[in-house]
Amino acid sequence: MKQATNKNRKSKEANVPALKRKEYEQKLRKLHVELVRLQEWVKCEGKKVCVIFEGRDGAGKGGVIKAMTERVSPRVFRVVALAAPTEREKSQMYVQRYLPHLPSGGEIVIFDRSWYNRAGVERVMGFCTEDQAKRFLRQVPAVEKTIVESGIILLKYWLEVSPEEQTSRLTARIDDKRKIWKLSQMDLDSYTRWDDYTRARDDMFQATDTAWAPWFIARSDNKRQARLNIIAHLLSSIPYKKVPRVNVSLPKRNVARSKPLRASLRIVPEADG
């Protein structure tokens, strides 16, 4: 299968060439500055922000999260990616294992997949019954209303990828030893069920796209543009303000004459090229 390159890949929806790396990095740098300002505002004001990322396998959720968090503090921007539930967790109320991860004051929590697993992968792959999935869809709007009314800013993003682009990305995971860990047996099993996931997605939107917690759809065939779009949208959705900071400069210090390390210490050797 011929795989599109980043250089030639185009956004199928907008028919716009992928951003060149230099232009992308320049735009991302400006957004990183704003994310730091958002971080300082959240800390200063004790705000609580929860961001959910959902989408099919290969839609680019991990890339967006990495771009969003690479220049901020992990103590403020906290990423939650839960493993499969334990037997104990399976016996709990479904959303119970997610609730302890919701943000406290001064935190931004990012869910790399969330309680919406029940509406997607669990429903499609048979890990829950149809009755359980439908009950979840009826109940979750009320849960999210409670979350929002508690003072949490809740943003829900769905990354929409085309079948052709998904195939290209999953194929790349097979061919690249750095990415093979991203391709599980679950991904392979899910790959054949595109239409089932489409129906599950549409049911999810119908039931859970509410006034207090709407879904925002990001087309993600053009990965770099999608990252910029989502970060810019997130920043525009939160009424943060620049927090005044005292100008910082390094104080003077005295350093004694350099003293060599003891010969008995173990020095990390230079790596081969």
Q: What is the DSSP string of 55-117?
A: ESTTSSHHHHHHHHHTTS-TTTEEEE---SPPHHHHTS-GGGGTGGGS--TTEEEEEES-GGG
How crowded is residue 246: how many other Cβ atoms within 10 Å of its Cβ? Answer: 5
- Of the listed ranges 16-20, 44-48, 90-94, 197-201, the one predicted with least confidence: 16-20
Residue 1, pLDDT score:
37
Please state the pTM of the whole predicted model. 0.89
Amino acid 56 reads: R
Distance CA 106, CA 48 (A): 6
Q: Judge whether residue 15 has pLDDT over 80.
A: no
Report whether 123 contacts 133 (CB < 8 A).
yes
When pLDDT is cut at 50, 70 and 90, the band that residue 183 belongs to is confident
Question: Rounded distance, CA 104 to CA 179, Å?
Answer: 33
- Spatial distance between the Cα atoms of 103 and 77, rounded to a whole number of angstroms: 10
36-51 pLDDT, tens digit per residue, is 999 999 999 999 999 9
92-120 confidence digits (pLDDT tens): 999 999 999 999 999 999 999 999 999 99
d(CA 192, CA 188): 7
Neighbour-count burial of 105, counting CB atoms closer than 10 A to its CB (0-12 exposed, 13-18 middle, 19+ buried): exposed
Run of H or E including 171: helix 163-175
C-alpha 254/C-alpha 262 separation (Å) is 22
Q: Which of 66-70, 153-157, 228-232, 244-248 has the lowest mean pLDDT?
A: 244-248
pLDDT at 81: 96
Q: Which two tokens stand for residue 156?
A: 């829900």
Q: Do 172 and 58 meet the contact criterion of CB atoms below 8 Å apart?
A: no
Record the tokens describing residue 66, joined without a space: 């990495």
State residue 107 phi and psi, 5-degree precision: -125, 150
- Cα atoms in the Cβ-side hemisphere of radius 13 Å centred on 244: 1
Beta strands in 186-244 (DSSP E): 215-219
Checking if the pLDDT of 72 tops 90, the result is: yes
CA distance 5 to 57: 19
If phi > 0 it is left, if psi is from -120 to 50 it is alpha, else beta; for residue 76 that is alpha
Residue 265 DSSP class: S
Terminal Cα distance for the chain, rounded: 33
Q: What percent of the chain has pLDDT over 70?
A: 94
